Amino acid sequence: MSRNRERVIEVVENSFSENEKTSPEDLLFSYDGILYPAALSSPETLEALKSFETRSNDVILAGYPKTGTNWLEEMVREIESTDAKYTEEEMKERINAEKELQMFPRLEFGDPGVFEILLLLRNPKDTAVSYYHFYNNMPVLPSFATWDEYFAAFMSGKLAWGSYFDHLMEWNRYIDHERMMMISYEELKENPVLGMKKIAAFFGFSLSEEEFSRIAKKTSFQAMKEKSKETHGKFGDILFRKGVVGSWRDLFSEAQNEEMDQKFEECIGGTILAMKIKYDVYCKT
């Protein structure tokens, strides 16, 4: 188990008993206009990241909360270890999830030319719904009384780790960089083997068809959910819920659909990121 995962599990496990002692307003703090969970980070940690130095062989896995980053991390680990280009310890050091709680709030904290970036995207409507359930079940985050209350916070970016739309607009500045690759949650769901082949090619790994198939089975949502108690403790029940595409239809009202459609178009309509997300395919009724 990774050091970062052990740390997160420890915090979450403790927070189940400590949560009632913490007032909702004390669960989050603001740093440079973005909210963060006080139990998982601190202003000092985020300030220190401004002087964080990357290495040429570092890998940054980037994604907004609940876009599938834990899933992607497992895929990359399996691909790397199968290729055997690195030892297990070297592999752990290469992936940014081993750094302090994955806190890379803005790309300007590092030069995108000196490390490789794998950016994970997910359509905003499914992201919003998944994050809603996560938010209300995660003891280190304040709960929302209703979906409507949460939706307003999501649209305004008043959530832990900031705005989904600001996140996309920030990364869109670097989308053409040669050391950056983007892949979507939806394409990994539709064809995980093909998605992993793209990832392997980007990082220069060489695997057989049988190896890709084995990894696809091992890292499927159902397989990871079944092992979640072993790998993530109580956090597993929060982390692994449905893992499907299209569940937004269960919660979005017609007015919320229209508001999201307009916001998406205003923020990233016509961009390469928007094309990759395939908004019209996954977010239109």
pLDDT in tens, 185-227: 999 999 999 999 999 999 889 999 999 999 999 998 888 877 7
What pLDDT, in 10s, does the model give residues 6-52?
555 565 556 555 555 567 778 999 999 999 999 888 899 888 888 87
pLDDT at 96: 47
Q: What is the C-alpha separation between 130 and 15, in angstroms, rounded? A: 21
The partner residues of 118 in beta bridges, in order of sequence, read 61, 181
The partner residues of 36 in beta bridges, in order of sequence, read 29
**Banded model confidence at residue 233, pLDDT cuts 50, 70, 90:** low
List Cβ neighbours of 283 (8 Å cut-off, separation of 6 or more): 123, 124, 125, 248, 260, 261, 264
pLDDT at 89: 61
CA torsion angle 236 82 244 256 (round to 10):
90
pLDDT at 20: 56
pLDDT at 263: 98
Task: Give me the residue label for tokens 């300007």.
Answer: 108
pLDDT at 19: 55
For residue 43, what are the domain limits? 3-282
pLDDT at 114: 57
Q: Say if CB 109 and CB 50 are below 8 A apart.
A: yes
pLDDT at 224: 81
**Banded model confidence at residue 58, pLDDT cuts 50, 70, 90:** confident
**Banded model confidence at residue 104, pLDDT cuts 50, 70, 90:** very low
pLDDT at 103: 41
Domains held by the chain: number: 1
Tell me what percent of the residues of the chain surpass a pLDDT of 90. Answer: 52
Phi, psi of 35 (to 5 degrees): -85, 140
What pLDDT, in 10s, does the model give residues 128-178?
999 999 999 888 899 999 999 999 999 999 999 999 999 999 999 888 888
**Banded model confidence at residue 261, pLDDT cuts 50, 70, 90:** very high
What CATH number has the domain bearing residue 208? 3.40.50.300
pLDDT at 179: 84
What's the whole-number mean pLDDT along residues 260-281?
A: 95
Looking at every residue in the chain, the average pLDDT score rounds to 83
